[in-house]
Structure formats: C-alpha cells, structure tokens
Amino acid sequence: MLKKEHIKFLIIHCSDTGDNNNIDASYIHNMHLDFGWDGIGYHKIILRSGKVENGRPEFWIGAHVKGKNEHSLGVCLIGTNKFTRNQFSSLKNVLLRWKKKYPNAKIIGHRDAINTKKTCPNFDVRSWCKENSI
C-alpha cells in the first residue's frame, strides 16, 4: 500500500502513442495487462481533450517508474510530444491538487526520475512548472 507520507515524487509521463490517437485509460489498462502487469500503472490519465481519467487509486503502488513506484504517483498525457492546451491545463490542475496533498513531493518527468534513454514526457518538466507557477 502506498502511504501519503512516502510520496516523494509526482512523475509526468506520456503514452508515446500518436498525437492524433484518442486512446483512453481503458486502452492503457489493457496494454499494461498485456505486459503482464496488474493493470494500468498510472494514477491519472489525461486525454487529448483534457479530460482526466483515473487509473490506479492513489493508495495503490503504481507501475510507471522502476525503482520509484513505492514513492511516487504517476500521471500520463496521451500522445507523444504535441500535447493540447487542454491537456496542459488539466495537468496543472492535477499537479496543484497533488501538491496540496503531498506538499514535499517533487514534480519530475519520467526521463528525470531514473537513468534512462527514454525521453518521456518529451518536454522539460522543470521549465514547464516554472512557467506555470507550480
């Protein structure tokens, strides 16, 4: 079980699917089941429209960054690198809500969480957070 006091990171991901693909949390859930996981690994999914869908409950340890899952929550933007204004607006809202609940948690991108060749979420999270006063 993921405990509130253990949350150290709020990690932003992208689905790395086509920027015009309108997939949703159920699609990600089925994809992760096909990986042999216990279902969707992210806690929140932000659709191209900006709609936020729930993934794993916040008390359930995620499956989104190897070695960091016991200390983090994950949010995933659908797409690769051309995210919509609505997605960024929803991302800001999700992160502001999480920061109220987990004030000591650091917001980072997947690529910044571990040593990886992945570029996810394909934008500079630190700069984006500064620009958006998060």
- Segment 31-88, tens digit of pLDDT: 999 999 999 999 999 999 999 999 999 999 999 999 999 999 999 999 999 999 999 9
Q: Domain tally for the chain?
A: 1
C-beta separation of 81 from 12 below 8 A? no
Confidence band of 99 (pLDDT split at 50, 70, 90): very high
Please tell me which residue, 87 or 2, carries the higher pLDDT value. 87
Q: What is the residue range of 86's domain?
A: 4-131
pLDDT at 116 > cutoff 90: no
**Domain CATH code at residue 125:** 3.40.80.10
CA distances from 107 to 19, 24, 130, 134 (A): 23, 23, 11, 9
Among 37, 35, 92, 36, smallest CA distance to 60 is for 37
Beta bridge partners of 44: 54, 75
> How big, in percent rounded to 5, are the helix, strand and coil portions of the chain?
35, 15, 50
